[in-house]
């Protein structure tokens, strides 16, 4: 396909068009700009801390909703239970963020 397209667009023969391009040329490894690694690490650390604080607050709010809605407010208790599942899902995703990004980065490098 690439050979046919190059032949049509460039007017060159099929033997002049490379069929396999070097992988390192198209997909270099990630590299932080000079001097930004420490700042990036600090920002990621702040974000992790923020996620933990918001997660604890979310669990406490959902627990309060379940407690208050226990009697005669079934809808509030149900929302608290569903909300706690969402909070736990978000915390799970946040804790797996680095693992997921590393897995996709390795997958893209192949």
Give the contacts of 32 (CB within 8 A, at least 6 positions apart): 40
Residue with tokens 């208050």: 68
Please report the pLDDT score of residue 7 as a whole number: 63
CB-based contact 61:83 (threshold 8 Å): yes
- Could you report the average pLDDT of every consecutive run of 10 residues in the chain (110 residues)? 60 57 63 86 92 96 93 90 96 92 74
Please report the pLDDT score of residue 19 as a whole number: 59
CB-based contact 76:65 (threshold 8 Å): yes
Q: Where are the domains of the chain?
A: 39-110
Residue with tokens 């590299």: 31
């Amino acid at each position: 396909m690439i050979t046919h397209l190059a032949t049509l667009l460039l007017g060159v023969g099929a033997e002049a068009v490379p069929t396999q391009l070097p992988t390192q040329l198209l997909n270099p490894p990630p590299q932080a700009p000079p001097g930004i690694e420490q700042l990036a690490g600090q920002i990621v650390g702040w974000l992790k801390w923020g996620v933990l604080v918001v997660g604890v607050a979310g669990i406490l709010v959902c627990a309060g909703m379940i407690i208050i809605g226990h009697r005669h407010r079934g809808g509030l208790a149900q929302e608290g239970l569903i909300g706690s599942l969402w909070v736990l899902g978000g915390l799970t995703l946040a804790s797996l963020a680095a693992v997921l990004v590393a897995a996709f980065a390795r997958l893209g490098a192949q």
